[in-house]
Structure 1
Amino acid sequence: MGRAAPRPGRRLAATVASSLSPARSTTLRAASKTARWDDGIPPLLRPLVRAYLLGYASTVAPRLISLLLKHLTRRRHTTTTEGNDPQQPQPPRHNKEPFLAALVRILRGGLAWQRFPTFCAAIVGGSTFLAVPLRAIFDRLAGNLSLLARQRLSRWLATFIAGYISLLLLQSKPLPPTDNSQPPARLAGRTLDLTLFAFTRALDATITTVYRRRHPSTTTKSPLTRAVDPLIFALSSSLIMWAWFYHPARLPPSYQKWISSAAAVDPRLILALRRCRSGTLRYGVVDDTQAALLGGMCADLGLPPAWGDPAVAVPFPCELVHMGHGGGSCEVHALWRFAHSARWALGTYLPLTLVLAISRRAGWRGILKALNSSARSSAFLGAFVALFYYGVCLARTRLGPRMLGTSVRVRQAIDGGLCVASGCLLCGWSVLVEKAGRRGDMALFVAPRALATLLPRRYAVEKQWRETVVFAASAAVVFTVAMERPGRVRVYNEMR
């Protein structure tokens, strides 16, 4: 839950963190007195150029890596099948585009003016350009305000205008063509994730600023504020997992696929619980079509077929939830889930952290730190999955029947949503495995996705101006605070 494929919001955070630090870069340049690649660029244009190049790199690099991996996999498959019988059927080739043509397409695609690099240049460069004339206007018309107030107003308004225009660039990109002869419906919402990312960061920066002003002598967070980050993560995770289980269309396809890979659950079990919620599968009612669903799962697991018949098994035993691991013990199954998911996550986290440590020449101490970070993150994900499954078992077997009863109506209600809700509420507290400093970043990572599950991912284009205004105002807050107090914007902390 805490780590997934990079999204536009995190790419924007990296771009802002690396582009909007003119004072710090000037100080470093004066101290080192070494030539930099952008010394020949006018100072006013440097943020724009940096933002565009960083946006282009973050857009193109993942696609180039994916293309290279696909090319190597295709070549290896071709090599292994050269000696096969030519009369044997060969798997279809879904992508026949030559490697060089795909490479040129990716490199040229990042240069399109409606893509993310132009967006980054527009918001960063636009806020830099507009701040100068707006500052002069505020000095002339609002001279009674303090110098700091005029600076803040000019920065905020400059970024608001730049943010509004830059998001319009992304939103103006035409929809991809469809196979149908009818034109696509004019719907908005493609930039919703980016808008919610900016909104949550602005809210966090505002709360942090207000708290620091009221408690200027505070250097560490109080126990109350330390509990806020885990609470936000747990609540956000609950909404995300509920959406993944019952409303998968509310999540981005890549995020939905990643959660499914981590959960490693039989789709028939998910479908059965969804049917319990909709009332299609009812306990105590003879229905051969419903019995065949879990009946096939019982056959695959070597369990009695009657356990999958809702007319006989009220409810179906937890052995089906365990899917052949842990037997009839929910606790053993939870331990197995922890070990299995942690090992799966370690195979992803460990190579990445080791490559980063070696590339930075961190030495043995850095490698040990990378190993510790990978182990902690893997344990977090393992605990997340294990707590979700164990929460389901708690409601179905351990606590639910004792607290609510064992009637058919209660069993239907438990499997109709209460057991999944229990797992959703419990899994997010695995964030306590991570360090306290990481919990805030993880909470801000999942919070926008949780908010997105409460909003329609597509809406009428006539209402798009509302989203654009929210993004522009949020970006203006983040940029203004970042220019004045970088430590109060956690996008800066993530990039350090």
Structure 2
Amino acid sequence: MGPPTTTMKKTPSRIPLLMEQAGIPPSLRPALLTALRAYGLTWSITTVPGIIGVFVKALLQMSRTLAKTSSLLAASAPLRKTLIRDVPLLLNKSFSRNGFPYIMVGAFTGHHFLTFVLQHHLKPKVNIRRKTAVFLTAAASMLAVRRAFPNTKTLDFTFFALVRALDVLAHQAYDAPMIKNNVPAWMLDYGSVGVFTVACTEIMFTWFYQPELLPRSYSLWITKMSEMDDRLLKALRAIRNREWIYGKDTGLGDLLGDYAVGLGLPREMGNPMRGRIPCQLVHQGQPYGCEVYSMNRFIKGFIRIFPLYFAVHLAPHLLFRTARLMQNPSMSLLHILKAATRSSAFLASFITIIWYSICLTRTRIGHQLLNINQTRLDDTTAPLIGSMLCGLSLLLESRHRRGEMALYVVPRAMYSLTERVLGPYQKGRWWEPVAAEGAETLLFAGSVTIILSAMFKNQSNVRSSARGLLSWILKSELPAEEMKEKEEEEAKAVPENDHVSL
């Protein structure tokens, strides 16, 4: 007979024990755990990148100082300065001026506390539907954060929630028999490509002519990836604003004249009196034509973005699929390389298509073949066509990634479109900020209600990337939710007289 088997008892975590000792009701303990996860995750997302950026900047400055002085003590001064001053300041701002974690906590857990109060502290007791409670508390969270943290830019957050809610509704519609029977399958399969293309049209055309309508960080990222000289962009915008007129001296001759000299080209090539902006200037001085320049842009874009996409595809394997990675490292690495190559080809193609479409329109077809007025080509037509076609590069991505990329760009397009459509009507009237705040609050509360309802009722309607994150935040609630629904169904047979339904 072998030794007696022993049963290992799972040691309870410290936080539930502390809640029990504090006398927190059992019905609220899962909600408090959800609140901790929601706050911690949102705080990390909004703060950690800034801390990393501060350290990277300090390390770069340290390396430059070290190269000049060869003194490690003197070179480490920027790093010490960061540790002593900048990081604590950033941490202080992340707690005192960052409202996003509080929005998340209120949106995800507020309905539990509202229900608890109505059920245990009111006579007669009030039965409130979960959807109603989620909507009310999400709206209250948004309004409270806007008052307590006025510098928190909530519109991006609202658009993000709205797009995810629309995605849930799209999944529900996709499963409806009427849709499946009447809509061609190819339209459903490539719907995300169409959405991505429309969003990119709005984003890129806005970036060409009105970049101030886009979120600043996003506009700067596009500028960085485009590698387009700022003077060329200013000339393009001046053409649209009729400040640069071909054949006339409007005082902007030096703008591209200096740019041409910097490229080693004659100053006259940047003179508007000379006529259209030559392709060689657009091509950053490269003399071999539009097609060769486009191929160069593809190669440069691919090489530049590949390390980032390799890290993006490697991270999930290191964090969540370590066992599979260790069991078969060669196959896992091959899968990661294929995915990173595919994603890098997508972004490189995006850059190439927009550049070549513009060149094809303003030079090959518009100027050389059809002899269209060059001002019309440069102030609208060529950038618009390039913006419309670049989104087709998403066809290179996998089906799953297509949907994710569409969901990534749509909030930015909404931001730009809102500014473009509503901006001209803003006259500083007293009711405008009130109406804007009310509309944003309703959109946010409705979006959160749709998303959480899907998580509690039918998680298959939530896209896998969001579902995994939300499941982690709500993991203390989702198992208990199923039991609660069964208890509610059983309780319907024995209604209580002291309950009021909402």
What's the TM-score, normalizing by structure 1?
0.77
Q: Which residue of 2 aligns with 1:380?
A: 346
Q: Which residue of 1 aligns with 2:176?
A: 213
How much does 1:358 deviate? 3.8
Q: Secondary structure at 1:111's aligned position in 2?
A: helix
Q: Which residue of 1 aligns with 2:255?
A: 293
Q: Out of 69-78 and 437-446, give the one that drifted further.
A: 69-78
Q: Which residue of 2 aligns with 1:102?
A: 86
- Partner of residue 492 from structure 1, selected from 463, 466, 471: 466
- Partner of residue 273 from structure 1, selected from 209, 232, 236: 236
Whether 2:67 is the aligned partner of 1:80: answer yes
Whether 2:156 is the aligned partner of 1:156: answer no
Whether 2:439 is the aligned partner of 1:470: answer no
Q: Which residue of 1 aligns with 2:25?
A: none
Distance 2:273 2:289 in 1: 24
Q: Secondary structure at 2:95's aligned position in 1?
A: coil
For 1:125-274, list aligned pairs within 5 A: 125-131=109-115, 154-174=129-149, 190-214=153-177, 222-274=185-237
Distance 1:312 1:388, change over 3 A: same
Distance 1:213 1:35, change over 3 A: farther
2:165 partner letter: A
Q: Is the 8 A contact 1:71 1:99 kept in 2?
A: no
Whether 2:100 is the aligned partner of 1:116: answer yes
Distance 1:155 1:161 in 2: 10
How much does 1:221 deviate? 9.2
Q: Which residue of 1 aligns with 2:26?
A: none
How much does 1:241 deviate? 0.7
Q: Is the 8 A contact 1:48 1:121 kept in 2?
A: yes
Q: Is the 8 A contact 2:58 2:78 kept in 1?
A: no
What's the TM-score, normalizing by structure 2?
0.76
Whether 2:366 is the aligned partner of 1:400: answer yes
Q: Which residue of 1 aligns with 2:433?
A: 461
- TM-superposition CA deviations, 1:258-277 (whole Å, max 9, x none): 11110000112111111111
Q: Which residue of 1 aligns with 2:4?
A: none
1:320 partner letter: L
Q: Secondary structure at 2:129's aligned position in 1?
A: helix
Q: Is the 8 A contact 1:334 1:390 kept in 2?
A: yes
Structure 1: give runs of 5+ residues left out of the alignment.
1-31, 85-89, 143-149, 177-188
Distance 1:344 1:61 in 2: 24
Q: Which residue of 1 aligns with 2:486?
A: none
Q: Out of 64-73 and 249-258, give the one that drifted further.
A: 64-73
How much does 1:132 deviate? 5.7
2:283 partner letter: H
Whether 2:385 is the aligned partner of 1:422: answer yes
How much does 1:335 deviate? 0.8
How much does 1:249 deviate? 0.9
1:161 partner letter: L
How much does 1:36 deviate? 5.2
For 1:47-66, list aligned pairs within 5 A: 47-66=34-53
Q: Which residue of 1 aligns with 2:6?
A: none
Whether 2:58 is the aligned partner of 1:71: answer yes
Distance 1:77 1:425 in 2: 43
Distance 1:81 1:475, change over 3 A: same
1:127 partner letter: H
Looking at secondary structure, tell me which structure has more helix per residue: 2
How much does 1:379 deviate? 1.0
Q: Which residue of 2 aligns with 1:444?
A: 407
Q: Secondary structure at 1:280's aligned position in 2?
A: coil
Q: Secondary structure at 2:246's aligned position in 1?
A: coil
Identity of aligned residues (%): 29
Q: Is the 8 A contact 1:205 1:488 kept in 2?
A: yes
Q: Is the 8 A contact 2:61 2:78 kept in 1?
A: no
2:386 partner letter: G
Structure 2: give runs of 5+ residues left out of the alignment.
1-8, 20-28, 427-431, 472-502
Bigger Rg, which one: 2
